[in-house]
């Protein structure tokens, strides 16, 4: 193919480690979590794995997971400098 | 022409800070421009703004390549971005820093803008307001006059604590 | 009043001061601040206009057409995809001879997606019958918007005017500018063909092949008549408010052997390149084209010409370079630079002059 097209392929971190943009960090309470997986579905950065591990290298700390969690199992804590 | 490059993170108020500094220079009777460097607007991402101050009308729209002054509103950016890139040999650096960070080879003015703001409880949407103490600090460097710094703050912010923040930064910054 | 603000704000304030009766608009980056500011003016009562928030740019122009057809002053603003989306209505408004004024924040068209400055949006609308002016400072954005109403509504013209300002570079830069009290600088609208319920008529009716061309030619007549109207308006503006504008702006051209030609913010930045070249002993000058429609050709006889196009006509070349070549007979060194907000500095512009090869094309930054 000779045409140059602007296509972005799925991959990790096209914008670098966006975890550095974070002001608040999501912390999951495993006791409260019922593994429903809504946090993973809602995460706009696909930073939550199938096993519901949060990849802090890429999590921007938007807090959508905490907002959506029906069990209130995710808290947003201020990043320490 | 005096050129300032301001490094901050999206949401920290860097773009507004640039406008306010340029506005103060305008009140000093100078020509000034403030330009944000826009990408996709992203909270938390490293962003850059430019301020030019001159006695003549400014005809340049391209980015500042050789700043006279570099301002760093979030020192963690220094691990991601070369904030000194292209700085003039005698260029200076103002860093918002609690721990007095210095850079090698350039006169550095560390000042704890975040601390000043938090001490006065100047917090907007969870973030400390850095604009007003920054304007105080900049006026200490003589980039803008103290009178114009005061006027800009009075015109832009209703909360009296902003004036106090500027005064504290003015006093804390060591020349 | 001397003030300080962005290009967007200056356009909004000029529109406010010209007192349009209807503003119909749809927001789009990097123009949004214009229509936000105007919405604020309408809300706080400083502008007694009807603000119509519409569902698309096609509709914003359609609403302006409807309003202007009743003889009232109208204004809107758009950019990029918004402008090309209203393409049909652009032809419609010029064909209906409605003096609508619109600001366009010049921005690239996708894909690939890009919100930076580029002239492809407005240049691809060059044949719609709209007058087009390109500005280079916040002050000029204010002044050109103010003058646009007087030019568009002049009964010799009766064509819509588009004020073009570079996206972000000019829409978002903050500079000093002075607002004015227009008073009778812009006379009340007197659209001769305004809808009059006492004298009913059908608008946009069928014009068969034996008459259609006459209406088309009449658009061109309005376009040609706009040249003296623009000159007279700019002269009157200078008399009243002290700021001088011309169809195109020359910088250090008197004895120039090579001239750089560009529009928009590059047309201002290139003055710095001219100063650098002059210091090197190169007899350089610059011509900033302000009006692109009507197209007025500067005298380029015996000069080397370097044209910077911030757009491109695929399969043809740089549009400004091509039009200058066609109308003046010059053989420009055609530089394509600044697309999608590509960074172009005064040093780069000076280098274009140093490496010039008349009659050839150079894409800045492309090396294959």
Helix (H) or strand (E) holding B26: helix B14-27
Nearest CA-CA partner of C272 in C258, C289, C252, C255:
C252
To probe the interface with C, which of B6, B50, B62 has the most C CB atoms within 10 Å? Answer: B62
Nearest CA-CA partner of C68 in C156, C188, C194:
C194
Q: How far is CA C367 from CA C116, C228, C363, C364, in A?
A: 22, 44, 8, 8
> Same CATH fold, C248-363 and C2-188+206-241?
yes
Please state the rounded mean pLDDT for residues A46-68.
94
How many domains are there within chain A?
A: 1
- The pair of structure tokens assigned to B162 is 């902003």
Could you tell me the end-to-end alpha-carbon distance of chain A, in angstroms, rounded to an integer?
A: 48
The complex's ipTM?
0.93
CA distance B137 to chain C (A): 22
Instruction: Point out which residues pair with B48 in neighbouring strands.
Output: B7, B37
Q: What angle do CA A48, A52, A56 make, to 5 degrees?
A: 45
Q: How far is CA B121 from CA B73, B98, B110, in A?
A: 18, 16, 21
Is C9 near chain B, with CB under 8 Å? no
Nearest CA-CA partner of B144 in B15, B48, B19, B37:
B19
Please state the rounded mean pLDDT for residues B123-144.
92
CA distance C90 to chain A (A): 30
Cβ neighbours of A22 in B, within 8 Å: 44
Q: What is the DSSP string of C145-181?
A: HHHHHHHHHSTTT---EEEEEETTTTTS-EEEEE---
CATH classification of the domain holding A34:
3.30.70.20
Asked if pLDDT for residue B41 goes beyond 70, the answer is no
Residue A22 lies in a domain: no
Phi, psi of C364 (to 5 degrees): -60, 125
What does the pLDDT profile of chain C (368 residues) look like in tens digits? 899 999 999 999 999 999 999 999 999 999 999 999 999 999 999 999 999 999 999 999 999 999 999 999 999 999 999 999 999 999 999 999 999 999 999 999 999 999 999 999 999 999 999 999 999 999 999 999 999 999 999 999 999 999 999 999 999 999 999 999 999 999 999 999 999 999 999 988 899 999 999 999 999 999 999 999 999 999 999 999 999 999 999 999 999 999 999 999 999 999 999 999 999 999 999 999 999 999 999 999 999 999 999 999 999 999 999 999 999 999 999 999 999 999 999 999 999 999 999 999 999 999 86
Answer whether C269 sits within 8 Å of B32, measured CB to CB: no
Residue A67 lies in a domain: yes
User: What angle do the packed helices B146-156 and B161-172 form, to 10 degrees?
Assistant: 150
pLDDT tier at A1 (50, 70, 90 boundaries)?
low
Phi, psi of C231 (to 5 degrees): -60, -45
Phi, psi of C255 (to 5 degrees): -110, 20
C-alpha to C-alpha distance for C119 and C109, rounded to whole angstroms: 9
Residue A66 lies in a domain: yes
Asked if pLDDT for residue A75 goes beyond 70, the answer is yes
Q: What is the tens place of the pLDDT at every residue in A31-43? A: 999 999 999 999 9
C-alpha to C-alpha distance for C176 and B14, rounded to whole angstroms: 20
Domain residue spans of chain C: 2-188+206-241, 248-363
Phi, psi of C56 (to 5 degrees): -170, 170
Is A22 near chain B, with CB under 8 Å? yes
Residue A39 lies in a domain: yes
Please identify, in words, the CATH class of the domain defined by C2-188+206-241: alpha beta
CATH architecture of C248-363: 3-Layer(aba) Sandwich (3.40)
Sign of CA dihedral A13, A14, A20, A23: negative
Answer whether B10 sits within 8 Å of A20, measured CB to CB: no
Residue A10 lies in a domain: no
Please state the rounded mean pLDDT for residues B157-169.
94
Average pLDDT score, chain B: 93
Domain around A55: 30-76
- The pair of structure tokens assigned to A35 is 């593994």
List domains and CATH numbers for chain B: 2-172 (3.40.920.10)
Contact C215, C207 (CB under 8 A): yes
C-alpha to C-alpha distance for B38 and C287, rounded to whole angstroms: 29
Nearest CA-CA partner of C18 in C66, C62, C75:
C75
Contact B74, B8 (CB under 8 A): yes
Asked if pLDDT for residue B128 goes beyond 70, the answer is yes
Alpha carbon A59 to its chain's center: 4
Helix, strand, or coil (residue C365): coil
Q: What is the tens place of the pLDDT at every residue in C47-60? A: 999 999 999 999 99
Instruction: Point out which residues pair with C285 in neighbouring strands.
Output: C259
pTM tops 0.80: yes
Contact B93, B69 (CB under 8 A): yes
User: Which comes out higher in pLDDT, residue B46 or A33?
Assistant: A33
pLDDT tier at A10 (50, 70, 90 boundaries)?
confident
Residue B138 burial (C-beta neighbours within 10 Å; 0-12, 13-18, 19+): buried
Helix extents (H) in C162-284: 212-241, 266-279
Contact B32, B2 (CB under 8 A): no
- Tally of CA atoms within 13 A in the half-sphere of B26 that contains its CB: 22
Is C343 near chain B, with CB under 8 Å? yes
Asked if pLDDT for residue B56 goes beyond 90, the answer is yes
Contact B70, B3 (CB under 8 A): no
Which pLDDT value is given to residue B37?
A: 86
Residue A4 lies in a domain: no
Helix, strand, or coil (residue A26): strand
Asked if pLDDT for residue B173 goes beyond 90, the answer is yes
Nearest CA-CA partner of B92 in B74, B109, B72, B113:
B109
Asked if pLDDT for residue A14 goes beyond 80, the answer is no
Number of CB atoms found within 10 A of residue B46's CB: 21
To probe the interface with B, which of C173, C262, C337, C365 has the most B CB atoms within 10 Å? Answer: C173
Contact C274, C286 (CB under 8 A): yes
pLDDT tier at B39 (50, 70, 90 boundaries)?
low
Rg (CA), chain A: 15
Residue A23 lies in a domain: no
Answer whether B9 sits within 8 Å of A81, measured CB to CB: no
Q: What is the DSSP letter of C111?
A: S
Which pLDDT value is given to residue B4?
A: 98
Q: What is the tens place of the pLDDT at every residue in B59-68? A: 999 999 999 9
Cβ neighbours of C265 in B, within 8 Å: 61
Please state the rounded mean pLDDT for residues B15-25.
95
Alpha carbon C120 to its chain's center: 12
Residue A17 lies in a domain: no
To probe the interface with A, which of C108, C109, C112 has the most A CB atoms within 10 Å? Answer: C112
- The pair of structure tokens assigned to A42 is 């809602």
């Amino acid at each position: 193919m000779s045409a140059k097209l602007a296509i972005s392929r799925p991959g990790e971190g096209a914008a670098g480690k966006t975890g550095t943009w974070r002001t608040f960090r999501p912390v999951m309470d495993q006791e409260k979590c019922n593994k429903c997986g809504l946090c993973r579905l809602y995460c706009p950065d696909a930073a939550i794995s199938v096993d519901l591990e949060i990849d802090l290298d890429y999590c921007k700390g938007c807090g959508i997971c905490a907002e959506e969690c029906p069990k209130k199992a995710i808290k947003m804590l201020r990043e320490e400098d | 022409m005096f050129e300032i490059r301001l490094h901050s993170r999206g949401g920290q108020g860097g773009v507004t800070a640039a406008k306010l500094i340029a506005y103060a220079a305008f009140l000093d009777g100078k020509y000034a421009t403030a330009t944000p460097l826009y990408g996709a607007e992203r909270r938390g991402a490293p962003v850059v703004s430019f301020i030019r101050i001159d006695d003549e009308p400014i005809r340049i729209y391209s980015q500042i390549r050789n700043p006279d002054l570099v301002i760093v509103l979030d020192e963690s950016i220094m691990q991601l971005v070369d904030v000194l890139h292209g700085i003039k040999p005698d260029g200076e650096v103002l860093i918002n820093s609690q721990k007095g960070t210095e850079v090698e080879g350039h006169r550095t003015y560390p000042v704890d803008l975040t601390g000043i703001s938090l001490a006065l409880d100047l917090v907007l949407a969870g973030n400390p307001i850095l604009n007003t103490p920054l304007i105080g600090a900049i006026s200490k460097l003589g980039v803008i006059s103290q009178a114009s710094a005061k006027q800009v703050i009075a015109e832009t912010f209703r909360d009296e604590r902003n004036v106090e923040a500027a005064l504290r930064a003015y006093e804390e910054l060591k020349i | 009043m001397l003030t300080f603000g962005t290009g967007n704000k200056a356009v909004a304030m000029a529109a406010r001061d010209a007192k349009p009766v209807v503003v119909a608009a749809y927001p789009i980056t990097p123009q949004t601040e214009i229509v936000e500011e105007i919405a604020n003016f309408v809300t706080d009562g400083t502008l007694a206009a009807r603000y119509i928030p519409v569902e698309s740019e096609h509709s914003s122009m359609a609403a302006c057409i409807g309003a202007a057809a009743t003889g009232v002053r109208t204004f809107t603003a758009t950019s990029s995809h918004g402008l090309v989306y209203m393409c049909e209505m652009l032809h419609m408004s010029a064909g209906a001879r409605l003096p609508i004024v619109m600001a366009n924040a010049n921005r690239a068209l996708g894909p690939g997606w890009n919100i930076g400055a580029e002239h492809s949006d407005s240049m691809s609308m060059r044949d719609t019958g709209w007058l087009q002016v390109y500005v280079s400072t916040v002050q000029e954005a204010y002044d050109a918007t103010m003058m646009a109403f007087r030019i568009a509504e002049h009964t010799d013209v009766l064509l819509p005017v588009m004020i073009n300002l570079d996206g972000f570079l000019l829409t978002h830069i903050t500079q000093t500018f002075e607002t004015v009290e227009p008073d009778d600088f812009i006379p009340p609208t007197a659209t001769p063909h305004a809808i009059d319920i006492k004298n009913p008529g059908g608008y946009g009716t069928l014009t068969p092949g034996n008459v259609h061309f006459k209406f088309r030619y009449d658009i061109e007549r309005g376009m040609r008549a706009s040249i003296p109207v623009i000159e007279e308006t700019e002269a009157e503006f200078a008399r009243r408010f002290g700021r001088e504008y011309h169809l195109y702006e020359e910088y250090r051209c008197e004895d120039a052997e090579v001239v750089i030609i560009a529009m928009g913010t590059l047309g201002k930045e290139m003055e710095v390149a001219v100063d650098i070249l002059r210091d090197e002993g190169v007899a350089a000058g610059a011509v900033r084209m302000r009006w692109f429609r009507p197209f007025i050709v500067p005298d380029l006889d015996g000069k080397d010409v370097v044209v910077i196009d911030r757009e491109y006509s695929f399969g043809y070349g740089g549009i400004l370079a091509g039009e200058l070549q066609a109308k003046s007979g010059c053989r420009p060194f055609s530089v394509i630079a600044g697309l999608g907000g590509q960074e172009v500095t005064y040093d780069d512009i000076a280098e274009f002059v140093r490496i010039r090869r008349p009659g050839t094309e150079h894409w800045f930054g492309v090396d294959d």
